[in-house]
Structure 1
Amino acid sequence: MRSFKNFQTGALIGACLFGLSAPIGPAQANTHVVNFRSAYDAGTIVISMSQRKLYYILSDGTAIQYPVAVAKPGKEWLGSAHIQGKYFHPDWTPPAVVKHDHPGLPNLIRGGSARNPMGVAAMTLDRDQIAIHGTSPTMRGSIGTRASYGCIRMLNEDVTDLYGRVSVGTHVVMQP
């Protein structure tokens, strides 16, 4: 698989499910604080594949919990990663595996387009073609399922909230 590249022009190459996006708006994030005891430091993102939840660890034994869509069977990954880049309305170039499954996709979908599967924001990881990104109102039903090609899909209001809390270098852990 190819790696994310071409950030100077804003193009985001990601192995994520095709969908639509909505503009950033004043929508309230779908989050709540939960008890979360962990060996990881505050500021770490922990994703539970089985729970379909992303946790942003706070310093007091709690975490902000977000519902997410995770990778479909055969596209999963486990272990540690770090946020490599942060992008609002990133361009998207479908990788070969997505293009194969969806041959009618264009070679590039510009950021902000209603057809861009990255939604309003993306945080790329230091793993091949993996990002934590938004989604579209028409794909909201995929949240809580195994739907992506490896990416972590969030509601646009949630990815916007998380985007404001993290920085490049943030530790990300995917658990079964």
Structure 2
Amino acid sequence: MISRRLFLTTLAGAPLAACNTVQRANLEPETDPELAAWYIGYAPDEPYPIPLVDRSKMDPKFRRQTVAYKGPERPGTIVVDIDERMLYLVTDQNEAMRYGVGVGRQGFSWRGVATVGRKAVWPDWRPTSTMMKIKPELPTYREAGLDNPLGARALYLYQNGRDILFRIHGTNEPWSIGEQVSSGCVRLLNEDVADLYTRVGVGTTVYVKRNGVYRV
């Protein structure tokens, strides 16, 4: 497995202190030997193909898999456990699809109950006002693409009909799965968020837990 430091030093451009930590003008694993160590090909998708990650380079527990689930949440709900770095889609009374995730760095993680208020395929990205205060040099807009911080799909979390500015989204930084690196959003591999996207609809309940509870 290549190190995070080596992965970062091979990427062009300045850091993005938002839902992403680095940016890259063109993600081309087949021509970049360091990125090629992470990617094994592409999955067809529109308007961009989704780079597929070599899962053998990940901790096995963070690979997408069906697991036993004993929580009280109903089938069809999403449960994010910040401490475990896991997202569960409850599929049956005693079963869930589990995805490894990256979460917000210390002090940026959110917890609570929300709903999926909107879904987007290859979304564009705009930093929040808080992000701009922390890092004024951030671009004010980034169009959809392989270097976009939201990746291939995004689920926008809402409370009481209002966007709370937290997302479940993809990432082009596979090394960040299982880490605390974002500004609060929950990130999955692009191929995983594309899978999750097909399984949930607008209105899905999302529980985000920290320290075993989701109530603030």
Q: For this structure pair, what is the TM-score category when the shorter chain's length is used for normalisation?
A: 0.7 to 0.9
One-letter amino acid of the counterpart of residue 49, structure 1: I
Matched, 1:157 2:191: yes
Cα–Cα, structure 1 residues 40 and 98, in superposed 2: closer, same or farther, change >3 Å? Answer: same
Question: Whole-Å Cα distance in 2 between the matches of residues 59 and 88 of structure 1?
Answer: 27
How many Å apart are 1:19 and its aligned residue? 3.9
Q: Which residue of 2 aligns with 1:4?
A: none
> Displacement, 1:17?
3.0
Question: Is 1:141 equivalent to 2:175 in the alignment?
Answer: yes
Q: Output one character per residue of 1:10-51: Cα deviation in whole Å (capped at 9) or x when no partner.
A: xxxxx6234448644374894111110121110110011110
Give structure 1 stretches of 5+ with no counterpart: 1-14
Mapped partners of 1:169, 1:115: distance in 2? 28
CA contact (8 A) 1:109 1:116 kept: yes
Are residues 1:92 and 2:92 paired? no
Q: Structure 2 counterpart of 1:53, which letter?
A: M
- The aligned residue for residue 206 of structure 2 is 172
Partner residue of 1:32 out of 48, 65, 71: 65
Normalising by structure 1, we get a TM-score of: 0.82
Equivalent residue number for residue 168 of structure 2:
132
CA shift digits 1:62-93 (9 cap, x unpaired): 11110001111111221211001000111111
Please say if residues 19 and 135 of structure 1, whose CA atoms lie closer than 8 Å, have aligned partners that are also in contact: no
Q: Secondary structure of 1:40's match?
A: coil
> Which residue of 114, 120, 123 corresponds with 1:81?
114
Q: Which has the higher contact order (CA 8 A, sep 6+)?
A: 1
Task: State the superposition RMSD in angstroms.
Answer: 2.1
- What is the aligned partner in structure 2 of residue 116 from structure 1? 148
Query: Aligned residues, how many?
Result: 159
Q: 1:110 to 1:26 in 2, by over 3 A?
A: closer
Q: Could you report, residue by residue, the CA deviation over 1:73-131 in whole angstroms, capped at 9, with x for unpaired residues?
A: 1112212110010001111111222223433322110012x431001110100052101
Q: How does 1:10-25 map to 2 (within 5 A)?
A: 16-20=19-23, 23-25=48-50
Letter in 1 for 2:138: L
What does 1:55-66 correspond to in 2, within 5 Å? 55-66=88-99
Q: Give deviations 1:130-161, integer Å, cap 9, x for gaps.
A: 0100000xx21111011111110111010000
Q: Could you state the TM-score of these two structures normalised by the residue count of structure 2?
A: 0.68
1:104 correspondence with 2:104: no
User: Which amino acid letter does the alignment assign opposite residue 84 of structure 2?
Assistant: Q
